[in-house]
Structure 1
Amino acid sequence: MRVRRAGDTALLVETGDLETAHRLHAAVREAEVAGVLDVVPGERTVLVVVDPGRCDLGRLASRLPELPLPASAAGGAPAVEVPVVYDGADVDEVARLTGLSPGEVVERHASGTYTVAYLGFSPGFAYLTGLDPVLHVPRRKSPRTSVPAGSVAIAGPYASVYPSASPGGWRLLGRTDLRLWDVTRDPPSLFQPGTRVRFVRSPEGAR
């Protein structure tokens, strides 16, 4: 690991890979270090934000590489299943771009096991790794002004589900009624870094 200063109130830990980033994220939260305000994982990094009046960055930088890492960030939790109606507007376009049939696009997407790399773009929007490389297609050249909440989409090496209606340029494969973001839930986001996800074909979605 490489630990770097990120301004006067944070450290950026470069872990080198996704799994270590997730395990370090879990370890820092479990350690409950005094003065640590937030821990934000990326795909290969972990940002640790502190109150400099309560936490010495130099000491923390020395301590972070020594923290015992859990065997798995998911902690053995089962994968979250997302029921999907595969009637998305871009299934045929993805089929054309990949040389697959629409049915094969759906089959490859639904057969994967995904991992939440990190959250971003909008509250609860999870970037999922594990997408079949054949389905790595670019974003649309012209983003849609509004993508409905629950839209199941892919772009580049990632899959995701739009947690709320928003503009977006990802390729839409289907939809789900599963609520990914709920302010009355603790935590509000159904997905957390390290969460495993499976997409399940469904004629009606889920509530």
Structure 2
Amino acid sequence: MELRPVGPKAVLAEVGDPATARALATWARGRVAAAEIVPAATTVLFDGVTDVSALADWTPAAAPPLGALVEIPVVYDGPDLAFVAARWGTDEAGVVRRHTSFEYVAEFCGFAPGFAYLAGVPDDLAVPRLESPRARVPEGSVGLAGTWCGVYPTASPGGWRLLGRTDAVLWDQEREPPALLEPGTRVRFRDASSLGSSIQGFGA
């Protein structure tokens, strides 16, 4: 672990991977007095902090406990299904079978409120982002980028490969906690294609 100062009251801890970053952030809560502790892909930001000496006691030996399991229904009608199928050497039904067979873990949140970066896609099934991002990705879109999976909580630009859509509410300020998929949450996707969806389809 390497510590770097970020301005007068913040420290960035650089670690090796997303799981280690989540482990450090989980361990540090309650041990390091900070306004915010924010894990990312390979870093943890300690904001509003003046003393990080407690971090000397941390070792990355043990993974943090995982959270609750959240099941997300998906209508698999995304515009990139055929691309992912070709990439994975299968057909579109095979993509659905594989995507719903994995258990994912929310490693960290970013990009937009409620957007969780979900680990769980094997390295050999990594898919590239679009060469040019879409100007608008509909709310609830489920996509892949590299070995990450994610669900767009609101409509926004984006370059992920879209497999389908869900009507799950990813961010609700009236809910406690507001984010459906906090770091550590386990996620399974369920094929709801035969049931349809209450949200608008792609291109609507």
Superposed pair shares fold, TM > 0.5:
yes
> Match for residue 147 of structure 1?
137
CA contact (8 A) 2:105 2:187 kept: yes
Distance, in Å, in 2 between the alignment partners of 1:108 and 1:9 is: 45
> Match for residue 81 of structure 1?
71
CA contact (8 A) 1:3 1:12 kept: yes
Among 35, 38, 44, the residue aligned to 1:37? 35
CA contact (8 A) 1:176 1:205 kept: no
> Match for residue 125 of structure 1?
115
Distance, in Å, in 2 between the alignment partners of 1:134 and 1:23 is: 25
**TM-score, reference length from structure 2:** 0.86
Amino acid at match of 2:57: E
Among 40, 64, 76, the residue aligned to 2:55? 64
> Match for residue 13 of structure 1?
13
- Structure 1 residues 105 and 39, CA gap change in structure 2 (3 angstroms): same
**TM-score, reference length from structure 1:** 0.84
CA contact (8 A) 2:75 2:197 kept: no
Among 141, 152, 163, the residue aligned to 1:173? 163
Count of residue pairs the alignment pairs up: 197
- Structure 1 residues 205 and 150, CA gap change in structure 2 (3 angstroms): farther
Per-residue CA distance 1:86-107 (angstroms, 9 max, x = gap): 1112111211233221111111
The alignment yields a C-alpha RMSD, in angstroms, of 2.3
Amino acid at match of 2:26: A
Per-residue CA distance 1:28-72 (angstroms, 9 max, x = gap): 223362xx111110122211011xxxx53xxx2321131588955
Distance, in Å, in 2 between the alignment partners of 1:120 and 1:204 is: 30
Structure 1 vs Structure 2: percent identity of aligned residues? 47
Per-residue CA distance 1:74-121 (angstroms, 9 max, x = gap): x45332111111111211121123322111111111111111122111
Distance, in Å, in 2 between the alignment partners of 1:72 and 1:80 is: 20
- Structure 1 residues 70 and 190, CA gap change in structure 2 (3 angstroms): farther
